[in-house]
Amino acid sequence: MTERSRALVETEVESTPATPECSAVLPLQPRVTKPPIAAPPAESRTRDTTVNVVSDQHNDLRTLGSKFAVASPWRSPANKAACRLSPNFITPIGTPIHRTFHSLQHYLEEVGHTTTLNVRDTWLPLTESRNGNMVYAAFHNLNAMIGYQAIFLPFAFMYLGWTWGLTVLSLAFAWQTYTKWQLIMMHESEPGKRIRNYIELSQEAFGQTMGWQMTLPAILNLTVGTSIGLVVVGGGALELFYISVCSKCVDTPMTMIEWCMVFSALCLILVQLPNMNSIAGVSLAGATMAVLYTTLIWMLSVFKKRPHDISYALATEEDSPLVTTFAVLNAIGIITFAFRGHNLVLEIQGTLPSTMKEPSSVSMWNGAKIAYLVLGLCYFPLAIGGYRGFGNKMLDSGILYSLHAAELSGTARSFLALTFLFVMFSCLSSFQIFSMPVFDMMEQLYTGKWNKKCNPYIRLITRSVYVLVVFFVAIAFPFLTSLAGLIGGLNSIPVTFAIPCFMWLKIRRPYRGSFTWYLNWFLAVFGIVMSCLVTAAGVGVIVHRGIKLEFFKPHA
């Protein structure tokens, strides 16, 4: 160190003021000129020995700390003992900065969102409100999963039998649970970005064009097709309820078209609710009604008097091998169609808040687990009890109409009428949650074109027109509800069982050759193969049995 550098150091030391908290305690001391600081040997110059006293949590301030330790007079042993400073104290600037960042991190973990919400998202029904919770998620999932497709589960057992029926039902239940978990985990696959719906997730995995073309037809068929089926089944349940309670009250009873019109009028009122969180009460009522009517159906089937000539032999024993294969695959399609709701998973999760401490996947998966527990307690007893009660006497229209045609006691008839009412309310609530993604698409087009929120009058008109269009298609093509196997193979299997595995491979990229990699490739390929086989079988069954095409003639 040169003489000029030594003089500058001595001047800096002498001119440094005492700290306010120590000036009142320490006595005035004469100025002491410190001896020159000798440079360390050449072999030890690579590391400053004064840095060793710095704590590991202040690594970014080590250089400043070493200089400050040399230049400050209150770091002397006497002043240090008097002030009793912490050995981690480096600079009066470092601690406030550290505390500020710590407070900011604590705030983000507690209440701060990890994602940035676009202004337009606050105008749309699915993302307008994000104050949902685990209970809301459970209600919405139950309302989306349990539907009129469950009525056909005992009918599928007629072609599969006890062993294969339970096996296929169990495998479909476990497979759907796994793929739903995948969708929930991929909702926030990138930090700061939340996926709005199934189509956006497909675009994230396969690209804009390919993702759109791959999933848009299937999602629209599931969403709009389910709404059409809900109108037919809900109107039919209303008619059956009326027949069971007051079949001779009037001379000219209402027709099926009029009952569908009544059901559509009720839907027209409820669809005016603004967003997904606003229909949480409707989903709660729908989920409760679904649990009640599935429980009443299997209890009535088990405790009713069984006919003497009932048989549990497969319904295809006398058919040719090709017809038997088609019937079995069509029954598999009916079971897969009963497991619906994957096209609404991301929309439901989009209503939940997401923070660094608790991302939306935590509350969504907890709600989904509750929903799956209730779903299992509904589907398995319904399939087993319904098949036990009717066997080969099951009608093609499902167990609901088989119960209506069966010989029941007066008390059982009263419970059956209540079951029809519960089915109607369940269809009414399911119509709302399946229609909400369509409303979101329509309003997204409006906000994208005009760059403003859709006003209440436009929302009233668009939603009313949608309900009227669905009602018209439902009464014009009432035979669509009998195509459960074909719809299950064409749309439900890819969306529910196959495509989520492909998206997991593209987005999460598991280690090549790992168990997860092999599992997802097997499920994805097997799902596509089953989709093709079930679709072909559905067409073959329609060709073999024929289908009664009655336009504008719906019937219960």
pLDDT in tens, 512-530: 989 999 999 999 999 999 9
Residue bearing the bigger pLDDT, 65 or 456: 456
User: What's the one-letter identity of residue 25?
Assistant: V
Query: Residue 547: pLDDT band by 50, 70, 90 thresholds?
Result: low
CA-based nearest residue to 336, from 93, 482, 174, 460: 174
What's the pLDDT score for residue 74?
Answer: 38
Sorted by sequence, the CB contacts under 8 Å of residue 190 that are 6+ apart come out as none
What's the pLDDT score for residue 77?
Answer: 45
Average pLDDT over residues 496-502: 93
CA-based nearest residue to 375, from 186, 165, 170, 159: 170
Question: b/e map of 6-43 (b: 16 or more CB within 10 Å)?
Answer: eeeeeeebeeeebbeebeeeeeeeeeeeeeeeeeeeee
Q: If you write DSSP's letter for every residue of 185-206 in order, what string do you get?
A: HTTT-BTTB---SHHHHHHHHH
Contact status, residue 286 vs residue 428, Cβ threshold 8 Å: yes
Total residue count of the chain as it appears in this document: 556
What's the pLDDT score for residue 29?
Answer: 46
Q: List, for residues 124-172, the tens digit of each pLDDT value.
A: 888 887 888 899 899 899 999 988 888 889 989 988 989 999 999 999 9
Q: List, for residues 97-108, the tens digit of each pLDDT value.
A: 555 555 545 444
Per-residue H/E/C for 418-445: HHHHHHHHHHHHHHHHHHHHHHHHHHHH
Reply yes or no on whether the pLDDT at 220 is more than 90: no
What's the pLDDT score for residue 113?
Answer: 46
The alpha carbon dihedral of 434, 438, 443, 448 has a sign of positive
- Tokens, residue 493: 């299997």
Contact status, residue 336 vs residue 172, Cβ threshold 8 Å: yes
Contact status, residue 293 vs residue 428, Cβ threshold 8 Å: no
What's the pLDDT score for residue 481?
Answer: 60
CA-based nearest residue to 92, from 105, 74, 115: 74
Reply yes or no on whether the pLDDT at 532 is more than 60: yes
Task: Report the C-alpha gap between 94 and 164 in whole angstroms.
Answer: 69
pTM as predicted: 0.75
Quote the percentage of the chain above a pLDDT of 90: 31
CA-based nearest residue to 158, from 378, 380, 313: 313
Sorted by sequence, the CB contacts under 8 Å of residue 506 that are 6+ apart come out as 205, 206
Q: Which of 176-190, 325-339, 394-408 has the highest mean pLDDT?
A: 176-190
Average pLDDT over residues 56-70: 40
Task: Report the C-alpha gap between 524 and 503 in whole angstroms.
Answer: 10
Cα separation values, 265 from 144, 227, 260, 350, Å: 21, 14, 9, 29
Q: List, for residues 266-312, the tens digit of each pLDDT value.
A: 999 999 988 888 888 899 999 999 999 999 999 999 888 887 778 88
Per-residue H/E/C for 215-262: HHHHHHHHHHHHHHHHHHHHHHHHHHHHHHHHCCCCCCCCCHHHHHHH
- Tokens, residue 263: 């059901």
Contact status, residue 477 vs residue 551, Cβ threshold 8 Å: yes
List helix spans (H) across 451-514: 456-476, 484-487, 493, 499-507
Task: Report the C-alpha gap between 319 and 325 in whole angstroms.
Answer: 10
Task: Report the C-alpha gap between 449 and 308 in whole angstroms.
Answer: 66
What's the pLDDT score for residue 500?
Answer: 95
What's the pLDDT score for residue 247?
Answer: 67
Question: b/e map of 478-501 (b: 16 or more CB within 10 Å)?
Answer: bebbbbbbbbbbbbbbbbbbbbbb
What's the pLDDT score for residue 107?
Answer: 43
Average pLDDT over residues 451-461: 88
Give the mean pLDDT of the chain.
77
Reply yes or no on whether the pLDDT at 495 is more than 70: yes
Query: Residue 480: pLDDT band by 50, 70, 90 thresholds?
Result: low
Which of 69-83, 109-123, 339-353 shows the lowest per-residue confidence on average (mean pLDDT)?
69-83
Task: Report the C-alpha gap between 500 and 302 in whole angstroms.
Answer: 37
